[in-house]
Chains A and B, each alone.
Chain A
Amino acid sequence: MTNKTTDSTAKKQKIVIDPVTRIEGHLRVEVEVDENNIVTEAWASGQLFRGIETILKNRDPRDTGLIAQRICGVCTNSHYRASITAVENAYGIVPPRNAEIIRNLVSLALFVQDHLVHYYHLHSLDYVDVVSALEADSEKAAKIAHQWHKQPYNCSQGDLEAVKEKLGSFVNAGRLGLFANGYWGHPEYKLSPEENLIHMNHYLEALRIQREVSKAIAIFGGKTPHPQNLVVGGVTSVMDMLNPQRLNDYLFIIKDTQAFLKRAYLPDVKMVVAAYKDNIKAGFGRGNGSFFCAGGYDLGSFNSAENASNNDSESSKLFVDGVIWGHDFDKVESFDENHITEEASRSWYADEQPTSPYDETTEPHYTDLNTDGTLKTEGKYSWIKAPRYKGQPMEVGPAARMIIGYLKGATLIKPYVQQFMDDTDLELIDFSSTLGRNVARAIEAEVTCDVIFSSVSELIENIKYYNEETWTKYDFDALPTSTKGCAILEVPRGTLSHFIRIENAKVANYQAVVPTTWNASPKDANGKRGPYEEAIVGLHLADPQQPLEVLRAVHSFDPCLACAVHVIDAKGKTLAEYRVPAKMGL
């Protein structure tokens, strides 16, 4: 059971953060803190219901992709692909290898783009004090940048001075725009002015890089967000696939991006890790230690020389599946999607019992907020359902994938993780923390970017030997009219699953269990907290009026929805209200 926080004798206060900014979507977080400013309880609440799953009902199964992708504009390609794959799975249609590769080229580039935008534009301002950067000595900063990489990205004294000037003239013009009213000067900002300047330099540079990676996605996706190149049975962008110039453009963008990851993103994360080593070692933001990864991304025989001789199909996959319970790294179970259930005892839906996603409904049952606008923390309090694996809340995402990949000796992942740990003196347990999640995400960006090249090589080899197939033919009228299927995909924020049940050749039921559903899950009937809640409980807040530590913990999951956090004292009076911008993702 949860530790009840409404102890009238102890001095406790409640903090409401709404909206959580720098996330996608509408998320609220309420926390209760004791007299020592330690968080004793937390509630994460999704504040928007759109009912896309309801809209999908009764449609032609071939059309679900174009609607399901609009679940999210950030993870747009992920839902598109998951939906199409679920339908293919239901009908037993296997798309040609070329289509799989093209789908991977878009998905992998999206990993890179998403992680970059999350780290720099949605998260870094929790660690980087823009105002302090204006005090930096650019000559000193250029030297510091060289401590983290021998060729730091755009970090000459001139580059840094130019950024300082740009920011300076922006600040002097009087309106701070996006940077207004940040927690600038908060005691938990630990970077030096020079380190802040290096980061802000890359913040601006990353705006350009994410635009470039988006172009790479659009080469095969037609556009992004909301690409338009997938159909049940394959992909449509065959003309782009056969155009050597398009392949070349794609590759060169990825090459430039790789340089940014290796010379800016990774070094910047190492710099932050060094500054906050104490927080990591103290396990700030650690959850309950139960992770899973569904595995995936078959990279074929091109990923490494060893694999060419090793016919184990698992080892040709980028991610390997696994389940870990309570930080027990000695035992990694295999993952089985049949253990997934969702329940809604604390969510605003009618269907309360744990149910398989194939059968569950999405019937809203709204019980409102308290009259003062706070959550009814004793009852239903979120639009997010509570997904469980074997009845337990689970954390998904880059940390889960990197820990499991490392433990299972994933050929593509282990060396990168090992290298980073060696460079920074971290251990595997450290990945289960606020900053650890960011470390895992940075390593994953580097890994995914590197493996793109082998995928392109395989595609080129196929085309060279006249395999131009991009679509598997089927006769829709001859397909079964009643069937069901699912897609379980690893996507930037974690494990995404779409479940479809088809009756009379129409969608009878549709459910998406997205990474943020796992991570931002509310409590369940047993009172077990979701991962956000678990990560927040136990945090010490330097200043409850500015709950920066809560924001960092929530942001470290890369949320894809919008939220809110309020501070309420023992008598229930609101002391302060916070809005945390969050990226509401999968």
Chain B
Amino acid sequence: MKIVIVGGGIAADYLANSLLSQDASVEVQIISKETYAPYDRIHLCDLVEGSADIQDITLELNPKVQVALNQEVIAIDTQAKQVVCQKQNFSYDYLIIASGSEPRTAFDIEGIDNAVTFRSAEDSFQIANNLQNRNVVIIGAGPIGLELLDTLMRMPQAKKIYLLVRNKTLYSLDLDPSSVALIQKAFERDDRITISFNDQIIDKTVLEGHITQIKTKQLEIENPFIIFGIGIKPNVDFARSSLENDRGIMVDEHMRSSDLFIYAVGEAAQIKASGFTAGHVKECRLQADTAVSHILKTNVQSFERDVAVDGLKVGAFQFTDVASPFYDINDPDNEVVLLRSKSENRIDQYILNHDKLMRFIGVNSNVDALYLKQLIIENQDIDASYLYNNRHENERGRLICSCVGAYQQDLIELVEDNAVTSFIELQPYSNAGRVCGRCKKDVANLISNAHVNPEEVARKKAAKIEANKQAKWDRAKRRIEKFNRLHPKNEISTDHFADALESFDKVSEFNGWVSMMTLNLNLPSEYDHLIHQGVQQMNKLPVIWLELADCSGNSEAFIKSVNPTIDDLILKFISLDYHELLMAASGPQSEHLLDQLIEADKGEYILMVEGAVPLGLNGNFLRIGPNGETGEALLKRVAKNAAAVFAIGSCALDGGVVAAAPNPTGAVGVAEALERDDIINLPGCPVNPINIVGTLLHYIMFAEMPPLDTKNQPLWAYAPLIHDNCERRGHYDAGEFVREWGDEGAKKGWCLYEMGCKGPYADINCSTVKFNEGTSWPVQAGHGCIACGKGKIAFDEYANHRKVIQLPIS
């Protein structure tokens, strides 16, 4: 996909970088009419002053971006999807217009050698070269004009400097007259400077492309050098015939123009719904993010205006500017609150509208701009006394970078803690000074004034690493304690952490614990090999499933698993390495596989056992495998190396139906056969697959077994009592019972207690999770519960349709 960007400023640069960082496969082409690669216009005054050259203000650009310079765009051919330039055409799949704006002039300056605009590097160089002994006339007193005036004031070349102001304000139409007076006074301390209010050029004398004299309403100036800073207009003439436009190119909330494949951002764009055009770098970036997300279709966002925070340092004055997106300068209900301090040369000007803050302009203010921004966002009611009482600076000092919200104290700490000695070195720690670039100098100054003591830095660094390590080890300790609590048989000492870790290897039952430790606890790198082992284990937990004296009912239930489904479960989450019912391998292949698994995955596999273990006839009621191994011997052999043993279903609990009276084969459960008390029991006839998968996933996710009850059954599945959570419980309480199969009560879903439902004796979660993807369960089917999860007692006492109380069983 080829994306063409028209423009050579910060917006174009940001767009290009951000496109490539999100999708390395796109082809990005920048077309700029300028001679230089994209640079940061914020620092044009440095070029004028000579304190920086063009390289210093050139923006970082991804080297994969193709840049065509000196290309003036003439038109866009939306049919052919081409950008038409004077020299060549560029094809695009998507076009983004970030051509910014161009400066206005009071008269046509084409062909005149001593009248310029102030917008580009070229302009800056021209200004710098034409100051000597000139009477410099700056027209316009906005931030650009003032900043230039401040720059020229520091330079000796100009003979006189005039600032022509059309009305009676400086910086902004909103600025209070007292602030204007304060600033005027400060500038006019330099006797070369004249600020002429309510003034404009009314006549000029031009000789051979050179203005020899101008006449203003109030002044006559010989040998002038005129610089226009009177405003800007969107630079979109090339698109006027092809795209819907007003002042700028009309765009929707995704910054898309009237053409589906063309977007516009920044000063060139005008949001159709609100008429808004971005002025600040931060807004341009947000718009760029919006356009990029919409083109790449990743996490698509809409552009929403944010509260604008800006700062400008001019001479002795620091402007702070916070404006609500809803601020309307012409609203007659606007009110001004002014707090002035003569001794501090400080003026705080608040513009309110119905008790809501709309704009703040501070001169040398000590008010925290981000705090004001918060006031606007939260739409808080405020009054003069509130403002007075809450005007103090943030405890972290002055806000240096409003774009990233970096306060003076934060930056000093960063610089000192990390021994930063230059602006470039700061980057890994903070983006301060790098977003709009306006505060770059302040940040650089802060760095050069900071006191960095390398030894102190090293000490702090070491302490920090130590504290991190300690915190991690403390967490690990807590986990060990929890582990010991959950499995009282395992005693892992927390006194010597390294020893404890080593001992995990010896804990054959729960080796998965190690992987949990390394992965979840983000342990130091010396445990890399364990992490490696952990990842493998987590991804593919080996599972061996043995069927003993069973009916395969639990296996049949298991293949009806959902979330994850059985295919995802066996293809992605676990490695079901041995399961007689499902495995492909046969003959020596399957038996050798089992032998190999027991050794190769020693201490890592989960053993699931389905069925009872017949001990009668020396175990000969069940013989498995080529050598006729008894079920009991096979179980013992495979259980020995298992990380954990799950007894699946009621037969594995205590023999279940196979052990019902008179227990002809002497069947017992897995725990009894193994003479172990750490077998996880998941009874049910069959077990609900949710209870297998839930327990398994708990183990995979948390690398430990869920909390168990006294019968080693996971509490989450075996604590709820069916009767308490039964959908028919209301009928029990109301005394509404089914008395006969198929009677009126049965049709209405009344309580089955009188029909021998054993819900009151069954502590298991059937009534809440149901079976077969929540389709039904025995009580819903009108039959009632037989407490099948209770093991063999269910088949001697519960599996019938009579109340327990009437049933003495043989």
Partner-B contacts on A (CB < 8 A) = 16-26, 47-52, 54-55, 58, 60, 62-63, 66-67, 70-74, 76, 117, 121-122, 125, 130, 166-167, 170, 173-175, 177-183, 204, 207-208, 210-211, 214-215, 217-229, 231, 233-234, 236-240, 242, 364, 366, 368-369, 372-374, 468-471, 473, 545-547, 551, 562, 564-566, 574, 576-581, 583-584
Contacting pair B624 A562 (CB below 8 A): yes
Which of B232-240, B453-461, B774-782 interfaces with chain A?
Answer: B774-782
A578–B583 Cα distance when bound, in Å, is 13
- What 7 pairs between A and B have smallest CB-CB spacing? A73-B553, A578-B587, A222-B781, A577-B626, A51-B664, A223-B771, A182-B584
> With A and B bound together, what is the CA distance between A369 and B771 in angstroms?
42
Q: Once the chains are docked, how many angstroms separate the CA of A235 from the CA of B746?
A: 11
Is B686 touching A226 in the complex (CB atoms < 8 A)?
yes
Contact (Cβ within 8 A) A223 B776: yes
Residues of B near A580 (CB, < 8 A) are: 586-587
- A242 vs B584: C-alpha distance when bound (angstroms): 44
Find residues 486-534 in chain B having any chain A CB closer than 8 Å to their own CB. Answer: none
Contacts of A51 in B (CB 8 A): 621, 658, 664-665
CA distance A179 to B584 in the complex (A): 5
| Residue contact A222 to B747, C-beta cutoff 8 Å | no
Cα distance, A581 to B539, chains bound together (Å): 27
Taking a contact as CB atoms under 8 Å apart, the answer to whether A180 and B593 are in contact is: yes
Contact between chains at A240 and B771 (CB < 8 Å): no
A183–B539 alpha-carbon span in the complex (Å): 26
The contact sample of 10 A-B pairs, CB cut-off 8 A, is A25-B547, A58-B810, A66-B800, A125-B584, A207-B565, A208-B565, A225-B556, A239-B747, A364-B664, A471-B741
Report the separation of the CA atoms of residues A63 and B553 in the bound assembly, to the nearest whole angstrom. Answer: 20
- Known contacts A26-B624, A72-B551, A178-B579; 11 additional CB pairs below 8 A are A22-B580, A25-B547, A48-B621, A73-B550, A210-B560, A215-B775, A364-B621, A545-B587, A562-B624, A577-B625, A581-B581
Main secondary structure of the interface of A (DSSP, over half): mixed
What chain A residues lie within 8 Å of B784 (beta carbons)?
Answer: 236
Q: Contact at B778–A238, with CB atoms within 8 Å?
A: no
Q: How far is the CA of A210 from the CA of B621 in the complex (A)?
A: 32
Most-contacted residue by chain A among B551, B554, B583, B614 (CB, 10 A): B551
Shortest A295–chain B CB gap in Å is 27
- Known contacts: A16-B626, A72-B551, A214-B772. The answer to whether A180 contacts B778 by CB under 8 A is no
Q: Is B653 positioned at the interface, with any CB of A under 8 Å from its CB?
A: no
Contact present for B580 and A218 (CB under 8 Å):
no
How far, in whole Å, are A234 and B740 apart by their CA atoms in the complex?
11
Is B592 an interface position by the 8 A CB rule?
Answer: yes
Using known A-B contacts A21-B581, A125-B584, A211-B562, determine if residue A60 contacts B800 with beta carbons closer than 8 Å. yes
User: How many residues of B are in contact with the other chain, CB < 8 A?
Assistant: 94
* Residue picked from B567, B584, B627, B749, most chain A C-beta under 10 Å: B584
> Contacts A70-B657, A210-B559, A579-B625 given: A50-B795 contact, CB under 8 Å?
no
Q: Of the 9-residue stretches B300-308, B404-412, B570-578, which lies at the interface with chain A? A: B570-578
Distance in angstroms from B750 CB to nearest chain A CB is 10
User: Are A566 and B553 in contact, with the CB atoms below 8 A?
Assistant: no
CB contacts (< 8 Å) of B775 on chain A: these are: 215, 218-219, 223
Q: How far is the CA of A468 from the CA of B743 in the complex (A)?
A: 10
Min CB distance, A507 to chain B, in Å? 12
Q: 1/0 contact trace for B303-338 toward A, CB 8 Å? A: 000000000000000000000000000000000000
Task: Kindly list chain A residues whose C-beta atoms are within 8 Å of the C-beta of B587.
Answer: 17, 545-547, 565, 576-580
Verify if B63 is at the interface (C-beta below 8 Å from A): no
Give the CA-CA distance A546 to B584 in the complex, in Å. Answer: 13
CA distance A49 to B417 in the complex (A): 75
- Given the known inter-chain contacts A55-B660, A239-B782, A470-B742, please indicate yes or no for A211 contacting B626, CB distance below 8 A: no
Alpha-carbon distance between A565 and B625 when the two chains are bound, in angstroms: 9
The answer to whether residues A583 and B581 also contact, given A55-B661, A67-B660, A236-B781 and a CB cut-off of 8 A, is: yes
Q: Determine the chain A residues whose CB is within 8 A of the CB of B428 once the complex forms.
A: none
Write the chain A residue with the least CB distance to B539. Answer: A173
Q: Does B585 belong to the interface (CB within 8 Å)?
A: yes
Closest residue of B by beta carbon distance from A121: B582
> Which DSSP category, helix, strand, loop or mixed, fits chain B's interface?
loop
A70 touches B553 (CB 8 A): yes
> A468: which B residues are within 8 A, CB to CB?
742, 747
Chain A residue with the shortest CB-CB distance to B657: A70
- Which listed residue, A50, A174, A229, A469, touches B658 by the CB 8 Å rule? A50
Q: B747 and A238: CB pair below 8 A?
A: yes
Chain B nearest CB, measured from A371 CB (Å): 9
Knowing A74-B551, A219-B776 are in contact, say whether A52-B622 is a contact too (CB < 8 A): no
B662 touches A55 (CB 8 A): yes
**B555 within 8 Å of A (CB atoms):** yes
A-side contacts of B582, CB under 8 Å: 22, 121-122, 178, 581
Contact B592 A48 (CB under 8 A): no
Q: Please state if A579 and B555 are interface contacts (CB–CB under 8 Å).
A: no
CB-contact partner of A63 in B562, B665, B799, under 8 A: B799
- Chain B residues, Cβ within 8 Å of A242: 747
CB–CB B624/A240 < 8 A: no
Residue of A nearest to B536 (CB): A174
Collect the chain A residues with CB atoms within 8 Å of residue B657's CB: 52, 55, 67, 70
Q: Are B586 and A551 in contact (CB under 8 A)?
A: yes
Contact A66 B551 (CB under 8 A): no
A211–B559 Cα gap in the complex (Å)? 8
Distance of A330 Cα from B802 Cα, bound (Å)? 53
CB-CB under 8 A from B776, the residues of chain A are: 218-219, 221-223, 240
Question: With A175-B540, A219-B776 in contact, do A55 and B786 touch (Cβ < 8 Å)?
Answer: no
Bound form: Cα–Cα A548–B555 in Å: 24
Tell me, yes or no, whether B440 is within 8 Å of chain A by CB: no
Residues of B within 8 Å of A236, CB to CB, are 741-742, 746, 781-784
B591 within 8 A of A: yes
Is B664's CB under 8 angstroms from A220's CB?
no
Please name all residues of chain A whose beta carbon is closer than 8 Å to the beta carbon of B567 when the two chains form the complex: 204, 207-208
Instruction: Find A237's partner among B562, B577, B781 (CB 8 Å cutoff).
Output: B781
Chain A residues with CB under 8 A of B617: 364, 366
A21 contacts B585, C-beta separation under 8 Å: yes
Contacts of A73 in B (CB 8 A): 550-557, 686
**Roughly how many angstroms separate A55 CA and B322 CA in the complex, as a whole number?**
86
Is the pair B772, A215 in contact by a Cβ cutoff of 8 Å?
yes
* Inter-subunit contact A26/B781 (CB<8 Å): no
Q: Which of B565, B580, B741, B742 contacts A211 (CB 8 A)?
A: B565
Cα separation A579 to B626 with both chains bound (whole Å): 8
User: Most B CB atoms within 10 A — which of A66, A215, A364?
Assistant: A66
Q: Is B85 an interface residue (CB 8 A)?
A: no
Tell me how far the C-beta of B759 lies from the nearest C-beta in chain A, rounded to whole angstroms. 12
Choice from A50, A74, A183, A221 contacting B552 with Cβ under 8 Å? A74
Task: Give the CA-CA distance A526 to B172 in the complex, in Å.
Answer: 115
Contact status of A228 and B551, CB under 8 A, knowing A175-B540, A468-B747: no
Contact with A along B373-399 (1 / 0, CB 8 A): 000000000000000000000000000
Quote the shortest CB–CB distance from B61 to chain A (angstroms): 38
Q: How far is the CA of A195 from the CA of B547 in the complex (A)?
A: 33
For chain B, residues 769 to 808, give those with C-beta under 8 angstroms from any C-beta of chain A.
Answer: 770-773, 775-784, 786, 788, 795, 799-801
B588 to chain A, nearest CB (A): 5
Of B580, B586, B614, the contact of A50 (CB 8 Å cutoff)? B614
Closest-CB distance, B695 to chain A (whole angstroms) = 19
Residue in contact with A47 in the complex, picked from B565, B591, B623, CB distance below 8 Å: B623
Interface string of B451-476 (1 = CB under 8 A from A): 00000000000000000000000000
Q: Kindly state the separation between the CA atoms of A545 and B775 in the bound complex, as whole angstroms.
A: 46
Instruction: Determine the distance from Cα of A21 to Cα of B781 in the docked complex, in whole angstroms.
Output: 34
Among B576, B626, B629, B795: residue with most chain A CB under 10 A: B626
Asked if A578 and B580 sit within 8 Å, CB to CB, the answer is no
Nearest residue in B to A229 (C-beta to C-beta)? B781
**In the complex where A67-B795, A577-B591 touch, is A55 in contact with B664 (Cβ < 8 A)?**
yes
Chain A residues near B742: list those with CB within 8 A: 234, 236, 238, 468-471
B436 at the interface (CB under 8 A from A): no
